[in-house]
Amino acid sequence: MARADIEELGRRAKSAARELATAGGAAKDGALRVAAELLEERCGEILEHNRTDLDRARRDGATDVGVDRLRLTPERVATMADSLRQVAELADPVGEVVEGWVRPNGLRVERIRVPLGVVGVIYENRPNVTSDAAGLSLKAGNATMLRGSSSAADSNASIVGCLRDALAKVGLPEDAVVNVADTSREAAVQFMQLDGMIDCLVPRGSHSLIATVREHATVPVVIDGDGNCHVYVDAAAELDMALAIVENAKTQRPGVCNAAESLLVHESVAAEFLPRAERALSGVELRGDEASRAILPTIVAATEEDYATEFLGPVLSVAVVADLDAAIDHIARYGSGHSEAIVTTDLRAAERFCREVDAAAIVVNASTRFVDGGELGLGSEIGISTQKLHARGPMGLRELTCVKYVVHGQGQVRR
Amino acid sequence: MARADIEELGRRAKSAARELATAGGAAKDGALRVAAELLEERCGEILEHNRTDLDRARRDGATDVGVDRLRLTPERVATMADSLRQVAELADPVGEVVEGWVRPNGLRVERIRVPLGVVGVIYENRPNVTSDAAGLSLKAGNATMLRGSSSAADSNASIVGCLRDALAKVGLPEDAVVNVADTSREAAVQFMQLDGMIDCLVPRGSHSLIATVREHATVPVVIDGDGNCHVYVDAAAELDMALAIVENAKTQRPGVCNAAESLLVHESVAAEFLPRAERALSGVELRGDEASRAILPTIVAATEEDYATEFLGPVLSVAVVADLDAAIDHIARYGSGHSEAIVTTDLRAAERFCREVDAAAIVVNASTRFVDGGELGLGSEIGISTQKLHARGPMGLRELTCVKYVVHGQGQVRR
């Protein structure tokens, strides 16, 4: 696929986006529901394409985890279809009058929610991202340019086929979902540089993908970044609650970005709390500083790098801190700005933690695992942003839109 | 200035930003007012530094326009001081509870407005940007890293001195405003790549500066882009009103981004309107398509490039369009997404224009010149964004902040 072909796809998506921007909610929801039906109807076909991907992945020596991420099953396809139906049920964000006022000279100013235009998604593995991302983007009135990984090429193409056919069936432009079939690195870089065509690029994948996007993207980007999330157990924590929260945050689903990666314990409760935490976290490797190893002598020593690492697995770094300030400093130094929790009954400690910790989400007396579009009540999400511009935290429908000013006058000119 | 020095400045700004994020409004406003006083007190000194810049600029063969942009006068310094005082009067955006709700499981979710952290500003010429940008950024609780052009180096340094001294006087960290004194291109590129230090970069300047930022920046950017703004005179326009609006939009201040650069006229009123427009716009060079030249035979032929150009001067491209669709298509093709105006008494035409034209601001029956932070009632602005992410249109105090989630629980864990 030459650069010209990718640009041509971009132009088609941009043209479809213009049409989609004024499409009614009923048409968009209809497309989502028809796409869900098509996914179910063509499940056998999709699984066959998926087998091609799986066979190739095995031949190429993919890990078991990699193969599992790639695998579709009838259940997984049904979940994809259900997700599209759920998105159809959400309220249409487009057209919302966000705010409005009248100026002294009579100008009436409104800020109106409108689609972004073309949303680019570059992602790895998991074929369900194809329908999840395109569905959410469509609901927000955007055209979507998808660029999945080579490993999932056949699965992605068959899912994109369902989405495009659904758009056509309800009379919307099928180019509202386009797939960049070229999975070369060159094509990826060209994709990230479609200035004037992609209004927002969302990368979903590994560190190396994110790094490539940071280095090469010239279009506006929302980074779905790392989650090096901490749970801080304060001097005034209820220790039973702290234990339940740490266990949940670390082990309920260790492979996701809102799982805890680091435990900070106030020195006044460390001697009591850490042995209980060690028992509760059996199966999790703890890596601690000197003070925590004085209490738990069998755990390994944590390196500087351990504190900066998002393990995404059964490892937890541990540090004993002298006070709240030390906890906040530790998080400022090592945190990735995703989700940071405190367990405490001390109002002032909670208030300071909320104010002074700089992250997309601060959680008081609950598990970091709640930092998720669905759990926070936003509906579906396309990722969790750790950057500060535009979207911070779960990136739901609203974050897939922007706002325009509409100014009504009666002939006013400026003096 | 080596890369290490710029990084050290970034670290200092980042550290100051942490402190500033929790500073009270009274301290920030105090710093702004003291800075205003210092600008006035040290006006003579500032003008002396400015003379050094002016002399160098003349030696280097700067144009008269360039020299004028660079020039400070007692009045201009007084205006800078007044601007800081006005910013101090604005409401503090930090701490606003943007929205909040309770989840079925009892989790209380709030979205709280917080500072961005470190705002980077890279700009050319005009030394007043130094205090305007830093003042607005400070009010929003951000540290500011400034990187002005070599031409204004001495002026900028003396203004930054006032700001830093003011911060110190009220007990805020003086590194909340830092100046990258190295005005080399290498330093500019390093500045744009201070990942993890600059939370938002705002470039203000020429096309070439914007292009450099697009190409090299790895930090999040808000582009203050071109304004290729159109006024469309509809079939149902009141022609007197249209004339006043076109004249105002083109000539009231032609050198700014919200001035009109292109006039589109419905064919049914072109024969009547265009000769009147030509008379009203004496001193403005009109460049037209065939249809408009059939009515105004003495004007020059517009090229494709003319329609795509932000003249920022006494030139206006003109086209006669067959209908509203043609006007909307023309704007989609040539517009830069800044401000687009329609003059009409036809409700359906106004509604379609508002809905279908994709720009930061749509203006109905008023001059494009109102698309400005002050005129729209946002207070001061740091620029007008033509991108869709984060800030679209005038970038005021609120656009210099972001939002974080604060979630309060009573021990909830996820099942």
Q: Within a domain: residue A154?
A: yes
Q: Is the domain of A239 the same as that of A203?
A: no
- The residue range of the domain holding A35 is 3-224+395-408
Report pLDDT for B224. 82
CA distance A355 to chain B (A): 7
Q: Which of A393, A371, A396, A372 minimizes the C-alpha distance to A382?
A: A396
User: Cβ contact (<8 Å) for B366 and A413?
Assistant: yes
pTM of the model: 0.92
Please give the radius of gyration of chain A, using alpha carbons only, rounded to the nearest integer: 24
Of residues B199, B388, B410, nearest to A365 (C-beta): B410
Report pLDDT for B1. 63
Task: Report chain A residues whose CB lies below 8 A from the CB of B215.
Answer: 218
Check: CB of residue B284 under 8 Å from CB of residue B316.
yes
Tell me the mean pLDDT per 10 residues along chain B, length 415: 88 96 96 98 98 95 89 97 96 96 98 97 92 97 96 97 98 98 93 94 90 91 91 98 98 95 98 98 97 98 97 97 98 96 98 97 98 92 92 95 98 96
Residue B243 belongs to a domain with what CATH number? 3.40.309.10
Of residues B359, B364, B369, nearest to A404 (C-beta): B359
Q: Within a domain: residue B338?
A: yes
Residue A256 CB neighbour total at 10 angstroms: 13
**Helix H segments across B62-143?**
64-70, 74-89, 128-139
CA–CA dist B170, B36 (Å, integer): 13
Q: Is the domain of A220 the same as that of A233?
A: no
Q: Which of B290, B247, B245 minimizes the C-alpha distance to B270?
A: B290
CA–CA dist B277, B279 (Å, integer): 5
Q: Within a domain: residue B399?
A: yes
Q: Is the domain of B315 the same as that of B201?
A: no
Of residues B101, B220, B370, nearest to A377 (C-beta): B101
User: Exposed (0-12), middle (13-18) or buried (19+): which is A79, by Cβ within 10 Å?
Assistant: middle
Q: Is the domain of B46 the same as that of B113?
A: yes
Give the CA-trace dihedral at B192, B195, B200, B206, to 10 degrees: 10
Q: Is the domain of A198 the same as that of A63?
A: yes
DSSP conformation class of B358: -
A363 bridge partner residues: A341, B407
User: Which chain B residue has its CA at the smallest distance from A251's CA?
Assistant: B414
Q: Is the domain of A217 the same as that of A300?
A: no
Q: Is the domain of B197 the same as that of B256?
A: no
User: Cβ contact (<8 Å) for A390 and B393?
Assistant: no
CA–CA dist B84, B30 (Å, integer): 10
User: Which chain A residue has its CA at the smallest distance from B352's CA?
Assistant: A22
Of residues B402, B407, B415, nearest to A363 (C-beta): B407
Q: Is the domain of A136 the same as that of A123?
A: yes
Q: Within a domain: residue B413?
A: no
User: Cβ contact (<8 Å) for A21 and B356?
Assistant: yes
Report pLDDT for A2. 75
In angstroms, the Cα distances linking A186 to A180, A192, A208, B328 are: 12, 10, 15, 35
CA distance B47 to chain A (A): 30
User: Which chain B residue has its CA at the smallest distance from A195's CA?
Assistant: B214
Give the CA-trace dihedral at B237, B240, B246, B251, to 10 degrees: -170
Q: ipTM of the predicted structure?
A: 0.93
- Token pair, residue A322, equals 């002298």
Check: CB of residue A308 under 8 Å from CB of residue A334.
yes
User: Cβ contact (<8 Å) for B377 and A103?
Assistant: yes
Q: 3-state DSSP call for residue B365?
A: strand
Q: Is the domain of B40 the same as that of B98?
A: yes
User: Cβ contact (<8 Å) for A199 and B389?
Assistant: yes
Residue B200 CB neighbour total at 10 angstroms: 27
Q: Within a domain: residue A240?
A: yes
CA distance B114 to chain A (A): 9
CA–CA dist B339, B369 (Å, integer): 9
CA distance B59 to chain A (A): 37
Of residues A107, A249, A404, nearest to B370 (C-beta): A107
User: Cβ contact (<8 Å) for A411 and B238?
Assistant: yes
Report pLDDT for A328. 98
User: Exposed (0-12), middle (13-18) or buried (19+): which is A121, by Cβ within 10 Å?
Assistant: buried
Q: Is the domain of A260 the same as that of A128?
A: no
Residue B116 belongs to a domain with what CATH number? 3.40.605.10
Report pLDDT for A246. 98
- Token pair, residue A201, equals 């690029």
Q: Within a domain: residue A389?
A: no
- A interface test, pick of B18, B399, B413 with most A CB neighbours within 10 Å: B413
pLDDT by residue (tens digit) across A225-279?
Answer: 889 999 999 999 999 999 999 999 999 999 999 999 999 999 999 999 999 999 9
User: Exposed (0-12), middle (13-18) or buried (19+): which is A329, by Cβ within 10 Å?
Assistant: middle
Q: Is the domain of B172 the same as that of B247?
A: no
CA–CA dist B249, B59 (Å, integer): 36
**Which stretches of chain A score pLDDT less than 50?**
none
User: Cβ contact (<8 Å) for B405 and A361?
Assistant: yes
Q: 3-state DSSP call for residue A183?
A: coil
Strand ranges of the sheet holding B339-343, from the earlier edge strand across to the other edge: A97-102, A108-115, A401-412, B361-366, B339-343, B229-233, B260-266, B315-321, B285-288, B300-301
Q: Is the domain of A77 the same as that of A193?
A: yes
CA distance A357 to chain B (A): 9
Of residues B112, B350, B409, nearest to A364 (C-beta): B409
User: Cβ contact (<8 Å) for B245 and A375?
Assistant: no
Number of independent structural domains in chain B: 2
CA distance A220 to chain B (A): 7
CA distance B279 to chain A (A): 18
User: Cβ contact (<8 Å) for B21 and A356?
Assistant: yes
Check: CB of residue B97 under 8 Å from CB of residue B110.
yes
In angstroms, the Cα distances linking A264 to A5, A258, A368 are: 52, 16, 14
CA distance B42 to chain A (A): 33
CA–CA dist B119, B197 (Å, integer): 9
Of residues B200, B387, B407, nearest to A362 (C-beta): B407
Q: Which of A341, A340, A343, A317 minimizes the C-alpha distance to A242?
A: A343
Task: Report chain A residues whose CB lies below 8 A from the CB of B359.
Answer: 404
Of residues B103, B404, B415, nearest to A360 (C-beta): B404
User: Which chain A residue has its CA at the smallest distance from B211's CA?
Assistant: A218
- B interface test, pick of A194, A345, A407 with most B CB neighbours within 10 Å: A407
User: Cβ contact (<8 Å) for A405 and B360?
Assistant: yes
In angstroms, the Cα distances linking B101 to A377, B108, B109, B111, B403 are: 9, 6, 5, 9, 15
Q: Within a domain: residue A380?
A: no
Return the number of CB contacts < 8 Å for A and B. 213
Q: Within a domain: residue A282?
A: yes
